[in-house]
């Protein structure tokens, strides 16, 4: 196996061009990749480590948006006031994420590109209309997150591209994130969701209940029972080692009712 750690973006493009169609993997924190290899998945011929690329990490305000570098760690997101102030649901999704050791390695870019239906940052990113900047040797393209993630482990990334940053329009809406796991820490979500709301807006992002995150918008016109019905119709959970589909449906309904009843006064 070959290992590269480019220190400029041009180095990265040269290396990715040289390895061409070979079996290569981009490597950020490695917290999804290493356990996968430990479980016996075949190692790729080449690994390209993105950690030393300049400008791949960091959180900044750019005009009416916030730009989060793909290499920003979950711990950095958790500790950034700008995130807590404008995107509470995204902030909350980082607080029960893995452990401090995992959060210090795991990146937001890895959470997105891993495309797990249970990825904890994803419901908030969908609900806040995040867009992704993908970089290739000919320039950048910007893709809404719901067009980028195509299914479990599948994204629209092209050969030679990297996810450079996540762009989220600055928001003053209130929001919450809820995660149900099988234990208090180091747990993959059985169900998770983000609710974004203000007087004339209610959007929900739902995780671990379909092959990709489900985003429901325009829910402000409904009462709680109607919202729960919309949710139940939209999801298609499966049985797996963590929970049955039936349990996921029930748990989601109960947790959503609980959270919505704090927001929607009847
Ligand atoms: C013990 C443990 C606990 C965990 N707990 C949680 C949890 O609570 N919630 C949760 O959501 N996840 C959890 N995870 C999963 C994992 O930590 C996250 O998905 C994490 O965000 C992955 O980021 P990474 O930087 O480590 O990705 P990596 O493992 O480096 O990469 C993951 C995938 O993304 C691709 N990739 C990474 N960066 C880029 C980029 N910039 N451009 C293109 N492709 C890229 C890689 O090629 C790979 O396919 C846990 C994992 C472990 C081992």
Would the pLDDT of 265 be above 80? no
Q: Quote the pLDDT of residue 224.
A: 97
**Which residue in 209, 207, 194, 204 sits closest to 245, CA to CA?**
209
Q: Quote the pLDDT of residue 266.
A: 62
- Kindly report, residue by residue over 12-21, the tens digit of the pLDDT: 999 988 887 7
pLDDT tier for residue 195 given thresholds of 50, 70 and 90: very high
- The protein residue whose alpha carbon is closest to atom 47 in ligand 1 is 26
Q: CA-to-CA distance for 148 and 142, rounded, in angstroms?
A: 10
Neighbours of 63 (CB within 10 A): 9
**Residue 189 class from Cβ within 10 Å (0-12 exposed, 13-18 middle, 19+ buried)?**
buried
Q: Quote the pLDDT of residue 181.
A: 92
Most informative mutation of 4, 16, 24, 26 for ligand 1 (most atoms within 8 A of CB): 26
Q: Quote the pLDDT of residue 154.
A: 98
The ligand 1 atom at the shortest distance from the C-alpha of residue 34 is: 29
Q: Provide residues with CB under 6 Å of ligand 1.
A: 25-33, 35, 50, 70, 97-98, 102, 105-107, 109-111, 113-114, 119-120, 157, 162-163, 186
- Kindly report, residue by residue over 202-230, the tens digit of the pLDDT: 999 999 999 999 999 999 999 999 999 99
Residue 107's Cβ-side half-sphere holds a number of Cα atoms within 13 Å equal to: 26
In the chain, domain spans: 1-52, 174-263
CATH architecture of 174-263: 2-Layer Sandwich (3.30)
**Which residue in 162, 190, 161, 194 sits closest to 175, CA to CA?**
194
Write the CATH number of the domain with boundaries 1-52. Answer: 3.30.43.10
pLDDT tier for residue 23 given thresholds of 50, 70 and 90: confident
pLDDT tier for residue 175 given thresholds of 50, 70 and 90: very high
Q: Which residues contact 222 (CB under 8 A, 6 or more apart)?
A: 230
Residue 200 token pair: 């004339």
The ligand 1 atom at the shortest distance from the C-alpha of residue 108 is: 21
Q: Quote the pLDDT of residue 24.
A: 87
- Kindly report, residue by residue over 68-126, the tens digit of the pLDDT: 999 999 999 999 999 999 999 999 999 999 999 999 999 999 999 999 999 999 999 99
Q: Quote the pLDDT of residue 96.
A: 92
Looking at the chain, the whole-number percentage of residues with pLDDT higher than 70 is 100
Judge if 1-52 and 174-263 fold alike in CATH terms: no
Cα 76 from chain centre = 15
């Amino acid at each position: 196996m070959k290992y590269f750690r480019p220190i400029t973006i041009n180095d990265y493009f040269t290396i990715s061009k040289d390895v061409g169609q070979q079996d290569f993997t981009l490597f950020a924190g490695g917290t999804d990749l290493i356990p996968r290899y430990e479980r016996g998945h075949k190692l790729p011929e080449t690994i390209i480590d993105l950690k030393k690329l300049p400008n791949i990490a960091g959180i900044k305000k750019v005009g009416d948006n916030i730009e989060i570098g793909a290499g920003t760690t979950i711990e950095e997101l958790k500790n950034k006031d700008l995130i807590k102030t404008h995107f509470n649901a995204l902030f909350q999704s980082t607080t029960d994420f893995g452990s401090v050791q995992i959060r210090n390695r795991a990146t937001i870019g890895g959470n997105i590109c891993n495309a797990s239906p249970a990825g904890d940052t994803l419901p908030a990113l969908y609900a806040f209309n995040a867009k992704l900047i993908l970089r290739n040797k000919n320039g950048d393209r910007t893709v809404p997150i719901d067009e980028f993630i195509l299914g479990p482990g599948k994204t629209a990334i092209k050969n030679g591209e990297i996810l450079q940053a996540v762009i989220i329009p600055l928001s003053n809406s209130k929001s919450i994130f809820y995660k149900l796991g099988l234990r208090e820490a180091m747990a993959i979500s059985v169900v998770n969701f983000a609710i974004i709301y203000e007087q004339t807006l209610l959007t929900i992002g739902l995780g671990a209940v379909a092959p990709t995150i489900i985003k429901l918008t325009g829910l402000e016109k409904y009462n709680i029972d109607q919202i729960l019905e919309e949710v139940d119709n939209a999801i298609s959970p499966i049985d797996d080692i963590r929970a049955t589909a039936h349990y996921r449906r029930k748990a989601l309904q109960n947790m959503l009712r609980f959270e919505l009843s704090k927001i929607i006064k009847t």
